[in-house]
């Protein structure tokens, strides 16, 4: 499998999940001309132009972060229970973070006008408070076992400072615990991050 990524972008969640599950993978970055590190035209692989994209062994390309994370969990039998409430809570949290929170980061990625940033900050503060309540004193977001939701949560929390919204204490601690995991340390090294 090949993970197409930009350093420090939301593909970091999939990168961490691949390492955590032990599935074999390669990681190839995309440059500003949308060429892959192995010289292919990324838009012809993924016309959406976004990362993450995952190329399977038969050349099939999967896109959309929640789907790629689900695929990694399904292939490995790790990071998502096969049934039970933890599974549904993890998928629910993944959908919430990918649609509501990632979406609310747009004004800070693209330097939108201040009123839009203000609205986004208000929304993010509410959303972080919901995640904080859900996490409570647990080790991970939906359970004491790590799930794919935590891989995505890590990236969401890493980017939060760009918005200027302060993280609740338990989310900040979760971020620091995740940052120290060997999978995260390795993903950072492989993406050339400090
Ligand atoms: N709906 C997509 C969104 C992915 C996305 O927004 N990726 C960003 C990086 S975090 C990207 O590739 N942006 C490049 C661009 O907008 O040209 C998903 O959930 O996978």
Question: Which of these, 153, 131, 147, 14, lies nearest to 81 by C-alpha position?
Answer: 147
| Helix, coil or strand: residue 63 | strand
Ligand 1 centroid vs 65 CA: distance in angstroms?
9
Q: How confident is the model at residue 111 (pLDDT cuts 50, 70, 90)?
A: confident
What residue owns the CA closest to ligand 1's atom 16?
Answer: 50
Question: Which of these, 32, 31, 27, lies nearest to 12 by C-alpha position?
Answer: 27
Pairing of strands 26-29, 2-5: parallel
CB 53 near ligand 1, within 6 Å:
no
Mean pLDDT of all residues in 113-138: 97
What pLDDT score does 194 carry?
A: 86
Q: Bridge-partner residues for 5, per DSSP?
A: 29
Q: Are the CB atoms for 119 and 71 separated by under 8 Å?
A: no
Instruction: State how far the Cα of 171 lies from the Cα of 157, in Å rounded to an integer.
Output: 7
The contacts of residue 106 (CB under 8 Å, 6+ apart) are: 112, 120
CB 64 near ligand 1, within 6 Å:
yes
The contacts of residue 132 (CB under 8 Å, 6+ apart) are: 168, 170, 171
Quick one: tokens of 143?
């359970």
Digit-coded pLDDT (tens) for 138-187: 999 999 999 999 999 999 999 999 999 999 999 999 999 999 999 999 99
- pTM higher than 0.85: yes
Digit-coded pLDDT (tens) for 35-54: 999 999 999 999 999 999 99
Question: Quick count: other Cβ atoms within 10 Å of Cβ 148?
Answer: 28
Domains (range + CATH), the chain: 2-77+183-190 (3.40.30.10), 85-181 (1.20.1050.10)
Identify which of 5, 10, 35 to mutate to test ligand 1's pocket (most ligand atoms within 8 A of the CB). 10
């Amino acid at each position: 499998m090949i993970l197409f990524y930009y350093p420090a972008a939301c593909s970091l969640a999939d990168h961490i999940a691949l390492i955590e599950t032990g599935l074999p993978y390669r990681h190839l970055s995309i440059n500003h001309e949308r060429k892959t590190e192995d010289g292919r035209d990324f838009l012809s692989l993924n016309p959406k132009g976004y990362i993450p994209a995952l190329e399977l062994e038969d050349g099939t390309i999967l896109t959309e972060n929640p789907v790629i994370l689900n695929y990694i969990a399904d292939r490995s039998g790790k990071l998502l229970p096969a049934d039970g409430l933890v599974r549904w809570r993890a998928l629910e949290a993944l959908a919430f973070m990918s649609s509501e929170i990632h979406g609310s980061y747009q004004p800070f990625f693209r330097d939108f006008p201040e009123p839009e940033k203000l609205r986004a900050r208000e929304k993010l503060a509410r959303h972080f408070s919901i995640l904080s309540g859900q996490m409570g004193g647990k080790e991970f977001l939906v359970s004491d076992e790590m799930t794919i939701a935590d891989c995505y949560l890590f990236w969401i929390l890493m980017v939060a400072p760009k918005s200027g919204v302060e993280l609740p204490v338990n989310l900040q601690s979760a971020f620091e615990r995740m940052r120290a995991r060997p999978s995260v340390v390795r993903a950072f090294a492989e993406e050339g991050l400090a």
